């Protein structure tokens, strides 16, 4: 299924995008804004988030979208600005390089950002969406969530978990007005890739 704004019918809808200061998130903010959506931008790059919000005529909410308090603040900020959240795009991610010797911190960070950020957002949004008659939850996962990725055990495992969580959400709530999608792109030239060779 396509997630282009034209097919999603997002004109006038409130769309939250994490990891939106650059790369895929920035492109999504521009595209959804051009289709008439009201955009809430979030990123750990605070200046970048504000710049993108200004570019698309949206709102920047500065919060850690991977923490419980941060995701609550993000959703509250978007709701305060636009009255509700109709579409939540969980796009923020971290690389997670390493093999079996990867540190506890590398695993913790990958799982917090690449999986638990989605769980925490869904925990807050799903009950609201069930009451308001629907919503759309989009997760930017990765091809590494389908095929694995040499040299990046924390990344591959966390992205597999993200795909599984999206599948579970979809199975559980698809008949109750909640649409869930996982995007699994291959390598995209963004800042997150850093020095990786494409």
Task: Tell me the C-alpha distance between 36 and 17, whole Å.
Answer: 15
- Chain centroid, CA 64 distance in Å: 12
Q: Give the DSSP per-residue string, 17-83.
A: EES-SSHHHHHHHHHHHHTT-EEEEE-S-HHHHHHHHHHHT-EE--S-TTSHHHHHHHHHHHHHHHS
Strand order of the sheet with strand 135-140? 59-60, 38-42, 14-18, 87-90, 135-140, 178-183
Out of 82, 88, 155, 173, pick the active-site residue: 155
| 173 a catalytic residue | no
Please tell me the distance from the alpha carbon of residue 46 to that of residue 32, in angstroms, as a whole number. 21
Active site residues: 155
């Amino acid at each position: 299924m396509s997630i282009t704004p034209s097919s999603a019918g997002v004109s006038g809808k409130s769309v939250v995008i994490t990891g939106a200061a650059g790369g895929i998130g920035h492109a999504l903010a521009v595209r959804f804004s051009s289709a008439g959506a009201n955009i809430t931008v979030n990123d750990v790059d605070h200046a970048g988030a504000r710049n993108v919000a200004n570019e698309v005529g949206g709102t920047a909410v500065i919060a850690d979208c991977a923490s419980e308090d941060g995701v609550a603040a993000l959703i509250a900020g978007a709701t305060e600005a636009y009255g509700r959240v109709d579409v939540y795009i969980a796009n923020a991610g971290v690389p997670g390089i390493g093999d079996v010797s990867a540190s506890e911190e590398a695993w913790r960070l990958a799982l917090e950002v690449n999986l638990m950020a989605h769980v925490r957002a869904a925990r807050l949004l799903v009950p609201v969406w069930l009451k308001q008659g629907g919503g759309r939850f989009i997760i930017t996962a990765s091809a590494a969530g389908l095929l694995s990725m040499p040299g990046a055990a924390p990344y591959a495992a966390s992205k597999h978990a993200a795909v599984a969580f999206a599948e579970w959400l979809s199975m559980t709530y698809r008949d109750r007005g909640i649409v869930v999608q996982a995007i699994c792109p291959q390598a995209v030239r963004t800042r997150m890739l850093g020095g990786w060779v494409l």
